Structure formats: structure tokens, C-alpha cells
A and B are shown apart, each in its own frame.
Chain A
């Protein structure tokens, strides 16, 4: 009665492929950087620069300090986006009156890229932490809210009907049916928001900051230290991938039924 799936050779092959693709990218990097015109530092040069970074931190802040500065900004912005975006998404997804009133306003604001808010945020909140976090909030709110709303709209009517026949109250229907049914979509929205938050934080740090990975890139660019730029870019990639992995882990824990089906 239970569906059981064995691990096949193809599964092993598919698991090895990501490692191969990373090795190929490094090979390509070696090939391009070994040219005479030297358009990009070699992996060895980037490694040496990384070692020097530990000896002599930039702006008296360690590498971990820069990473944490960027991650902290993204997480705070994302936290506020979740705290407001999820209830708002639930509201416009579930309540027809709220949808009629609020969705047109949101649809109007939605297409505006987060970076277009930079002048207003700077004017309102200055060039400190608040404006950067507000900017990240603007960027991350959209995917969280849109996914929550879409998740609510896609809740199977049959599941709602079952709950109603059992005499569930409106609150119970939202809590027991709509929320779990939407959870996976919300987490997918948070994952997308994390990517957007990462883009926005780097842009914000490039404009004005004393710490953060975006700041490291701009510092490298200003003094033509391409090895530092590449290293900062690699760190951005690694941290982004790690955060995404954490979310995937969280999704498996929170939505175990999705994992077993897959």
C-alpha cells in the first residue's frame, strides 16, 4: 500500500552533477585568469588576498564582522517583511472586502523596484542602518506577501468544505486549513525574498556603509583590488547559498509531508 522508491544509479549520477558543475566553473576560472591580459585574478591570488584580509582587516572590521553586518541587515529587513507581509497576504487572500480595498494599492506599488526607493529612504531615514533596513524591507515584502496571497488563493476548496461540514469556525478554517496549506508557498516566498534582500543590501552598502560585503566590493573597486572584489563576491555566493540551505532545511522540518511526497 505504501509507495517505496529505491535509490537508482541515475539518482547517484544526479547527486554527483552539482559537484562536477562547480569543478567545471573553477576550471573555467583558471583558464580565463591564466591569459596574458589578466582580466581577472587567478584563484591563487584570490586565496592570498583572503589570507591577507585576516591579517589586516578592512576598516578594522574582521571578515566575519563584514559578513554579519550584511546578514544582520537582511535578516532584520526580512523579519519585518514576514511579520507584516504574511498577515497582510492572509488578509487579502482570505477576506474579499480587504482584497477589494488593499490589493489595487498593493498592485500599484508592487512593480516599483526596491532600489527606486533609495532617494526617499535616504531622505526619510538618513544614510544609517535604518534606511538600509527599510530598503531591504521594501524589497523583501513583495515576494513574501505575493506568495502568501497566492498560497491562500490556492487552498483547495474541498479541504475548506470538509472543515466547514465538521463545524469548524472561521478562525479554525484559517488556522487548521489555510495556514498549513499555504505554509509551503510562504516559505518559497521567504526564500525568494532572501535572494532579493541580498541584492538590495549589497546595493545599499555600495552607496553608503562602513561595514558589509557590499562595502568590501566598493572598497576593492576604489583601489583596483580585484582579488578583494572577487573574494567578496565568492563570500556573497557562499553565504547566500548557506542561508538558502537553512531555509530548505526549515521547510523540510515545517512541511514534512512535502518531503515524503517528493
Chain B
């Protein structure tokens, strides 16, 4: 069956003065697809994501969601940053409901959606707690929950597990896959960890060195949960590593 294109990126360029960070990026993402973006360190991955989220204006080119120019006002966008980004002054449930309130959604819908996410993320015990009372992994779960609660057209994740220990990272990787399968949202996940990309993604976009372009698009057809020792997993991981090492 033909999959519907959710996000279309056309000739996207970004320069800061004379420094060209992105050049002629062209790609598309299907509805409900999980895409990971990898590339050499400092190649402009975060700039790439900041433009998809509209935090930065492109120098030229455009990002379309459902055929319309992407805009936080028009579309439901969610962003999970590398640093902890839960609001310290809001309780767990109010953090999760924040995006829906910002969009002036109906209170009944907000409650229903918040309860569902709290249940799904196993945060019921901490509903009334503040993020400062919880561990880093629990705080990141709040942020993931808040992002999915939006029922996002596009969920952007910028190395969200970059600062975590291996155990927490594995745990949250499985959590994000579980909640993504439940909601079937379109996700763009940036990481410098190739194993993580192969573990999560349905498709991996490899960026070139600066100015970044999409060098290759690698589909991964392995079922979730994936086995990191599976020969096919190892083959794909080595292939992507080679593609990045080429520079």
C-alpha cells in the first residue's frame, strides 16, 4: 500500500553569514514513520532539526507538513531536546498537559489525553510531583509524554538520550518505541549514536559534512524490538558507520 507523505523538505538551505550549514536538503517522511538522522559531529544536525521545528528560519527552501508550510500555530509540533526541558514549576500532569493548554484545547480532551499518557508512561504515582523531585529518566519520560500528548503531526527529538547512562538510554529507547507504536506518530530522531539509529529507525538519513546534504537514505526493515547482535543489524550498523567514516 502506498504510504502518505507527511513531511516534505524542499531545497532547504541555511547559512549563518558566510558559513553554509545546510545545502539543498531534499527528502520526505511518510506519515507515522520513525526516521533517524545521523551524520558526522558538527555537521549541522541540530540546525537541521531547528528548521524543521521552525525555531530557525531557513535561508531558502521550505518545509511542508501535509502540503502546507510548517508552522507551530497551524500544526502540532513537538520537540524533545537533549537537555532536560520539563518545566520545573509545573507538576507532572500539568507538564504533560502544557502543549494542549497552549493550543487552547478543550479541558475534557486535555484531561483525557493527560490521563492516557500518564497511564501509558507509568507516571500515575508521580502525577502531583514536580520534576525536581524525580530522577533524570523520569523527567525525560515526562518530556516524552508531553510531546506525544500533543498528538503531534511531527515529533522532533534532538539526541534526547545523549546525556544518559547506558541503562537509562536502553530503557527509554524501548519506551519511545512502545509509545510510538501506540500513537503511530511521525518522528524525526537525531543521534550521533549509529547503534541507536539502527535500533530505533524505520529509515536512517545520513548527512554529509558541512554544508550538510542528505547523502543517503537507508531503510531498515527489521522488526521491533531489535536484537543488536542480529547479523543483519550489525551489517546495517557497519554500513552506516562506513558511510559516515568516508569523510
Contact = CB atoms under 8 A, between A and B. Distances in A.
Interface of A: 1-3, 158-159, 161-168, 172, 176-177, 180-181, 183, 255-257, 260-261
A2 B85 contact: no
Of B102, B137, B150, chain A has the most CB atoms within 10 Å of the CB of B102
B99 A166 contact: yes
Nearest to B100: A166
Contacts of A183: 89
Given A162-B81, A164-B55, A168-B102, A257 B72 contact: no
B78 A257 contact: no
B129 interface: yes
B133 A167 contact: no
Contacts, number: 83
Contacts of A161: 55, 79, 81, 85
Given A1-B134, A2-B134, A260-B130, A165 B87 contact: no
A39 to B, nearest CB: 51
A168 to B, nearest CB: 4
A167 B138 contact: no
Contact of B98 (A1, A164, A176, A260): A176
B83 interface: yes
Nearest to A172: B102
B77 A1 contact: no
A165 B54 contact: yes
Contacts of B76: 167
A10 to B, nearest CB: 22
Contact of A255 (B53, B89, B102, B133): B89
A201 B85 CA distance: 44
A168 B55 CA distance: 12
B132 interface: yes
Nearest to A181: B89
Contacts of A260: 129-130, 132-133
Contacts of B138: 1
From A1, A162, A181, A257, name the one whose CB has the most chain B CB atoms within 10 angstroms: A162
A190 B77 CA distance: 38
A166 B77 contact: yes
Interface size class of B (residues with CB under 8 A): 35 or more
Contacts of A1: 125-126, 134-135, 137-138
B215 interface: no
B103 interface: yes
Interface of B: 53-55, 71-73, 76-79, 81, 83, 85, 87-90, 98-99, 101-103, 125-126, 129-135, 137-138, 150, 156
Q: Which of A2, A3, A256, A257 has the most CB of B within 10 A?
A: A257
Contact of B85 (A159, A255, A257): A159
A176 B100 CA distance: 13
Contacts of B101: 176
Contacts of A158: 81, 83, 85
B55 A3 contact: no
B160 to A, nearest CB: 12
Q: Which of A2, A167, A180 has the most CB of B within 10 A?
A: A167
Contacts of A165: 53-55, 72, 77-79, 156
Nearest to B143: A162
A199 to B, nearest CB: 32
A167 B126 contact: no
A156 B133 CA distance: 19
A218 B76 CA distance: 67
A218 to B, nearest CB: 46
Contact of B129 (A2, A162, A164, A172): A2
Given A166-B103, A261-B132, 4 more contacts: A3-B133, A162-B98, A166-B98, A172-B102
Given A257-B130, A260-B130, A162 B85 contact: yes
B102 A180 contact: no
Nearest to B137: A1
A167 B99 CA distance: 8
Q: Which of B77, B78, B133, B135 has the most CB of A within 10 A?
A: B133
Contacts of B137: 1
Q: Which of A1, A166, A180, A181 has the most CB of B within 10 A?
A: A166
